[in-house]
Amino acid sequence: MSDQTPPNPLSETDFKDLKDRMKLIADADPNQYHNELSLKRYLRAFKTADAAFQAILKTNKWRNEYDVASLTQDNPIVKKHMEANKARVLRHRDMVGRPVIYIPAKNHNANDRDINDLTKFIVYCLEEACKKCFEEVVDNLCIVFDLKEFGLSCMDYQMIKNLIWLLSRHYPERLGICLILNAPALFSGCWGIIKGWLDENTSSKVVFVNSEEELCKYLIPDILPDDI
């Protein structure tokens, strides 16, 4: 059984309209970030050519102002968070070929972090995972939240809000599935709050995994790190 929601069919007229609009700005921006697959993701997410085009312009502006290109593994902020094992883009993929971002909740503390720096690290992880996509085959990601040793101090609502905002505004249609592992009973209250921030399509991609047998439907357990 597939865990992917079939993409909405695209209007060829809207797609052509969006491509024509993008050609108009290509001369002004030779380093244009968006290819045809990116345009299709924006069109699926924002429904019309006009809304998708406006969203793309906002993403382009954000990428420049946020200096996304500077967020490499040599960036001091990225280095710091990698050394603290806040998240990792895994070498291996899930069962359908999606890149995997693994986030161990135990290494997060909402009372001991700079949210701006942490958000930059989230962007770095999203960028690295997107680069690993086999675009023509599967162009979305698997995000794994491992709640082993989870405590309420690990629950960083602002980080989750920022991740949701990034995925919806600047990485639309990039989330394929979000796996929640080892969720303790006390997380149910947290999930009630988080679910209220998600639209129906996004919340349908969140899967709670309660056993290794269930996990094997989505990825090989051995690819998950045991050193962080």
Based on the domain organization, do 17 and 91 belong to the same domain? no
What pLDDT does 152 receive? 94
What pLDDT does 55 receive? 96
Based on the domain organization, do 58 and 108 belong to the same domain? no
Based on the domain organization, do 166 and 208 belong to the same domain? yes
Is 204 within a domain?
yes
What pLDDT does 6 receive? 47
Cβ count within 10 A of residue 104 = 23
What pLDDT does 177 receive? 98
pLDDT in tens, the chain (228 residues): 344 444 556 788 999 999 999 988 776 665 667 889 999 999 999 999 999 999 999 999 999 999 999 999 999 999 999 999 999 999 999 999 999 999 999 999 999 999 999 999 999 999 999 999 998 899 999 999 999 999 999 999 999 999 999 999 999 999 999 999 999 999 999 999 999 999 999 999 999 999 999 999 999 999 999 877
Is 71 within a domain?
no
Is 26 within a domain?
yes
Is 90 within a domain?
yes
Based on the domain organization, do 108 and 191 belong to the same domain? yes
What pLDDT does 24 receive? 80
What pLDDT does 4 receive? 46
Q: How many domains does the chain have?
A: 2
Which residues, 6+ apart, have CB-to-CB distance to 113 below 8 Å? 156, 159
H-type alpha helices, 132-180: 157-169
CATH of the domain at 184: 3.40.525.10
Based on the domain organization, do 86 and 39 belong to the same domain? no
- Domain of residue 22: give its range: 12-66
Based on the domain organization, do 60 and 85 belong to the same domain? no
pTM of this structure: 0.92
Based on the domain organization, do 188 and 109 belong to the same domain? yes
The torsion of the CA quartet 176, 69, 18, 167, rounded to 10 degrees, works out to: 30
Question: What ranges make up the beta strands (E) of 8-97?
Answer: 88-93
Output phi, psi for 31, to 5 deg: -95, 40
Is 228 within a domain?
no
Based on the domain organization, do 27 and 93 belong to the same domain? no
Output phi, psi for 126, to 5 deg: -60, -40
What pLDDT does 135 receive? 85
Cα within 13 Å of Cα(69), Cβ side:
7
